[in-house]
Structures are given as structure tokens and as C-alpha cells.
Structure 1
Amino acid sequence: MDPAMQRRPDLPRPVESLAAKLNWLRAGVLGANDGIVSTSALMVGVAGAGTGIGGILTAGLAALVAGAFSMGVGEYVSVSSQRDSERAAIRRERALLDTDPEGQVDQLAHMYELRGLTPRTAHQVAVELTEHDELRSHLDVEYRLDPDDLNNPWAAAFASAAAFTLGSLVPLLAALFAPTAWMPWPIAAATLVALLVTGIVSARIGGSGKRLGTVRVLIGGTLALVGTYAIGTLFGSPVH
């Protein structure tokens, strides 16, 4: 058995499903946070070089498109690799069940013993579950894997790209509706407010302290804005 494919067998499936949903939500928040910071930092850097509003919006739109595609492709590749591993685990388990069904029952019983059942009870549970659905029972305990509910790389790619796009719209809208003479301050202000929101949401999802999580996000975003603005001011050339 591949240790990398091991899943914890100590949680019932309803809790695992909730955890999976929270992971998706957390990934969405992080994707939006990436869109906010990377797009606004680029726009602030361009504004620091003395670029007009047209150049600022062009830079922001380019950052949105490039970042969304990058996030989507990266997520697609990552989830596709994970799904390939899941399919490989299913094929291995089917082969083992075909060639050594009794040994697989003993293995399943042993895993239930490790979870606290007596040998007799563990063996009885393993036999009954195998009779009911041998493949699903083994995949559930050994890998926490549902053969009918594998990860969808296209859904993951779309979700990641969409989250990044929504985050990128924050600085773009701030630049579009704010007076040009005030640039880049409206972008920076909108960015910090948005990061404040994502920091609170991330802390709530992760169950950590809101203050600490928010401070981390704000510090990171502020450093990115200051750094790109300094680069734009010191080395940039105006683009109108």
C-alpha cells in the first residue's frame, strides 16, 4: 500500500464531507486573496511610475487575465494528478480483491482492530462490509475514498480562476470609479479593506483567532503594495 495514499480512517463520512466543503471554501478565499494582492500590487506599482489611468487599468486587466489562467491551469494540473492517484488506488484495490479476497478481508479486519475493535468484532465487521460492497468498504477505510465521487479537475480549475477574478475586480473597480488624481490611494484603500474581510473569513473557516489572521493578511498585503509602489517610483517610466 502506498503510504502517500493513506487517509485517516477515524472520522465518519459526514464530518469528512463537511471538511471537504470547508477546504473548498478556504481555497476560494485564498484564491480571492491572491487576486486582490497581486493585481492591486501591480496596479499600484504602475501608478507609482506616473502612469495614466488607461495604463493602470490595462495593467490590472492583464494581471486579472494572466492570474486567472495561471490559477486555473495550476489547479487543473494539481487535481488531475490527485485524481490519477485515486484511480490508481482503485485499480490496485480491485486487483487485490480479485487475486486475494481472503487476505483483503483479514487486512480490513486488522485495520478495524487498530481503531479499537476486538479481533472477533473486527473480523465480523470486515466480512459483512465486504459482502455488502467489497470495493467501497476497502477504499473507504484504507483511503477515505469514494469511487463515485472523485475530484473533478475542471470544477477545481474553474473555481480557482473565478475566485482569483473576483479578487482582482476589487482594485480594478476602485481605480475605475475613483478620481484619477488620487491614484494609487483608492486602490490601496480598497485592497486593505478587502484583505480585512478575507482575513476575517479565513480565520473563521480555520477556527483561529480573527485578530492574528487578519493582521497577517494585512501585513503581507501592505508590504506588497509598498514594495511595488517603491519600485514603480524609483525605476518606472510613465506610460500614458
Structure 2
Amino acid sequence: MSNVKAQNSKELSELPTLESSVDSYHLEDHLGGNGPSIKVLVFGGLDGILSMFATVFGCAGASISPVQTICVSIGSLVASAFSMGYGEYVSEIAERDYMNSELRREQIEVEEKPECEKKEMYDIYTGRYNFSDEDARSLVDIAFRNKEFFLRHMMVEELGIMLTDQEITPVRRGILMFCSFCVLGAIPMLGFIGFYIGESGSRLSKIMGYGTTSFFSLVATMALGYFKGSYMKQNPIQSAMKMTFNGIVVGASSYLMGYLVTLMFPEGEPITP
């Protein structure tokens, strides 16, 4: 008997303690609290690069002059950046309003009809997660002791809404979207303007301008994809290749559509509404 106790004591002593487990957990490399900002920057930057890449090559396919291409691109850049920034602001406001309204509704139901809310969580535990009757009731009773935890838990399980405390404000999201779209969206234009000599410039200068635009755009999308993959702890090379493929498809399709439209409406034939 003493040998059995000694063996059990030895096995228990070899188990990791709660403190060591917690220390190991906190040593993990997490993404941190900048996720929402990074998401907005990547989305806005990628949309800016590809939108301007498509604009420049759509103009190229339509045989529009370099001066007109620059004017159209600048106007599209500013207007699209404002639209994206304001759209991000409005959508975030709408999402927060919806989340707050559902939270208030659940708070009222928990206060006025606690048994109904418990029954809903019980059904989720038994139906979705296959907990036994006894375990489900125990989980509901334990969770309901902390009303705030119960509310947050119910918002996720019943409505799919994750309540977060460290989100950036809607105004900041809109500004980040506008700035990232403008700054990164200017990259394709810089490549084109850099080789622009004049409206009567040589054919070679135009080809070099469009080629530089392609190079700048694809390198920018590749770099953005690599950054996203590295930050999200994914394969950065694979992420960069996916972004680059997206850029190639966007540039080729916009050029093709511009070229096809000019065939449908030859120069000198006005397009009337």
C-alpha cells in the first residue's frame, strides 16, 4: 500500500501546476489589441491599390490620353477614399447600434424573465454541444451567478455577437480607411506619373509608364499580403502570392474591359444616355 501511495505522489508531483500553465500561456505570442486597426489598414490599402490600378489600366485599354488618365485617377482616388472612409464610419455606427440594442434587450429579459433565458442556454448546451442534462443545468446555474458573464456568453451563443471592450472608435476607423486608401492608392499613379513626359510623348514613354504602374502595384500588393500573413501568423509567402494574383486579375480585366468598350463605341461616336 505504501508503494502505491508513493507512486501516486510521484505522479502528482510531475503534473504541471496551475501557475506554470498560466505562465506558459502568457508566454505565447498573441496578436495583441491592434487587430481592428490592422484589418482596416489592410482592407483600405488593398482596395486603394487595386482600384487605382484598375482605373489606370482601364484608361489604357480605352486609349485615353495620359493627361486624362491622371485627371480621372486623381478624382477617383479622392472620391473613392472619402466614400470608403465614410462607409466604414457609417457601417461601424450601425453595427454598434445593433449590438447595443440587442444587449439592452437581453439585459431586460435576464432581469424580467431569468428562467426563460436559462432555458435558452440549457437548450444550447444540450442541443448544440451535446452536454448531458445534469452538466447543462450545472453550467447554466454557474454562469448565471455572474450576470455580466451570462449576458456576454448569451450574446455570443444566441446571437453571434462578441462584445469587445477595446475597439477603435468609428471616427478613427473612418480616418484610417481614408488615409490607407489615399496613401497606398497613390502608388499606381506615382508609377504612371513618374514616366509621363507629355500628352504628345513617345509611345515608349507611355509603355514605360504603364509598365511602372504594373510593377509598383504588384509589388505593393505583394508587400501588403506579406505583412498581413506575417501579422496574422500565417504563411506570408502564400498570402503575398494570393494578393499578387488578385492584382494581376484586376489589372488584366480592367484593361480588357476598357479595350472592348472602345470597340463597341469607336472614337468619334458619342455615347448618349
Structure 2 length-normalised TM: 0.63
Point out where structure 2 has 5 or more consecutive residues left out of the alignment.
1-29, 269-273
Structure with max Cα Rg: 2
Q: For residue 229 of structure 1, report the CA deviation from its aligned partner.
A: 6.3
Residue number among 74, 78, 84 corresponding to 1:71 in the alignment:
84
> For residue 171 of structure 1, what is the amino acid of its counterpart?
P
Aligned residue for 1:193, secondary structure, equals: helix
In the alignment, the residues of structure 2 paired with residue 230 and residue 206 of structure 1 have an alpha-carbon distance, to the nearest angstrom, of 42
> What 5-or-longer segments of structure 1 have no aligned partner?
1-16
The correspondence for 2:157, drawn from 141, 146, 164, is: 141
The offset of 1:206, in angstroms, is 10
- Say yes or no: does 1:120 pair with 2:134: yes
Alpha-carbon distance between aligned partners in 1 of 2:168 and 2:133, rounded to the nearest angstrom: 34
CA distance 1:31–1:116, shift in 2 (3 Å): same
Amino acid across the alignment from 1:59? V
Distance between the aligned counterparts of 1:203 and 1:226, measured in 2? 31
Mapping 1:1-240, distance limit 5 Å: 25=38, 28-46=41-59, 49=63, 51-53=65-67, 55-113=68-126, 114-134=128-148, 135-142=151-158, 143-146=160-163, 148=165, 152-180=169-197, 181=201, 182-183=205-206, 184-185=209-210, 186-198=212-224, 214-228=244-258
Shift in alpha-carbon separation, 1:90–1:217, aligned structure 2, 3 A: same
**Larger relative contact order (CA 8 Å, sep ≥ 6):** 1
Q: Per-residue CA shift, 1:32-63, capped at 9, x if unaligned?
A: 2321232233334556656355x544333222
Looking at structure 2, the residues matched to 30 and 73 of structure 1 have their Cα atoms a distance apart, in angstroms, of: 14
- Of the structure 1 ranges 198-207 and 113-122, higher mean CA displacement relative to structure 2 is found in 198-207
Aligned equivalents of 2:152, 2:98: Cα separation in 1? 16
Indicate if the aligned counterparts of 1:45 and 1:231 stay in contact, CA closer than 8 A: no
Q: Distance in 2 between matches of 1:150 and 1:87?
A: 14
In 2: Cα distance, 1:99 partner to 1:78 partner: 32
Number of aligned positions between the proteins: 220
Match of 2:16 in 1: none
- Post-superposition Cα deviations, 1:185-214, rounded to whole Å, max 9, x if no partner, equal 222332233344456667786969555664
With over 3 angstroms needed to count, the CA separation of the structure-2 counterparts of 1:41 and 1:207, relative to structure 1, is same
* Distance in 2, Cα, partners of 1:165 & 1:57: 15
* Alpha-carbon shift at residue 227 of structure 1 (Å): 3.4
Q: Distance in 2 between matches of 1:195 and 1:206?
A: 18
Please tell me whether the aligned partners of residues 53 and 217 of structure 2 are also in contact (alpha carbons under 8 angstroms). yes
Give 2:219's aligned amino acid: V
Name the counterpart of 2:3. Answer: none
